[in-house]
Amino acid sequence: MLWVGGLWLLQIGLLPVLGRIGLAPLLIDEIAGMLNTLVVGFATACVIFQALVLIKAEGLVSLWRDIRGQLLMMALYACAMYFAVRFGWPDAVRWQSFSYLVLGFSGLVLVLQPIPGWSGRVREAHP
C-alpha cells in the first residue's frame, strides 16, 4: 500500500516540515498543489492496478460484494472527483481537500483489511 503511505506522509510529514523550516506560505501552497496532484495521480494508477488484480483473483462481482472492492471503487471515485474539481473548477480548494481526505481514509481502511486467505497462522511451504 505504497500509495496510502505517500498520501499520508505528504500531508502529515512533508508539508508541515516545509512550514517549519521557514519557506514562504505561497511557495508551500504551490509545492503542495503540485505534489498533491502527483500523489493522487500515482494513487489512481495503483488503485486501478489493485482493482484489476482483485478482478483477476475473485471475479468482477468482487468490486461490489467485497469490502476491498468497495473501498477500491470509493478510492477511484475520489481520485476522479479530485481531478474533475482540480481541472474543471480550480477555485474549489475545499472540494479538492475533501476528495483527498476520502481517498486517504478509504486507503487507510483498505490497509487495515485482513489479507485474503490469511487465517492468522503461518502458512506451510509446499514441497
pTM as predicted: 0.83
Residue 94: is its pLDDT beyond 70?
A: yes
In a domain? residue 27: yes
Which structural domain, as residue segments, surrounds residue 75? 2-111
In a domain? residue 121: no
Contact 12, 112 (CB under 8 A): no
Report pLDDT for 49.
Answer: 94
3-state secondary structure (DSSP) of residue 66: coil
User: Could you tell me which of 92, 73, 96, 74 has the C-alpha nearest to residue 83?
Assistant: 96
User: How is residue 104 written as a grid cell?
Assistant: 486517504
What is the total count of domains within the chain?
1
% of residues, the chain, pLDDT over 70:
91
In a domain? residue 122: no
The chain-wide mean pLDDT, for the chain, equals 88
59: left (phi over 0), alpha (psi -120 to 50) or beta: left
Q: Which residue has the higher pLDDT, 125 or 29?
A: 29
In a domain? residue 48: yes
In a domain? residue 39: yes
In a domain? residue 125: no
In a domain? residue 123: no
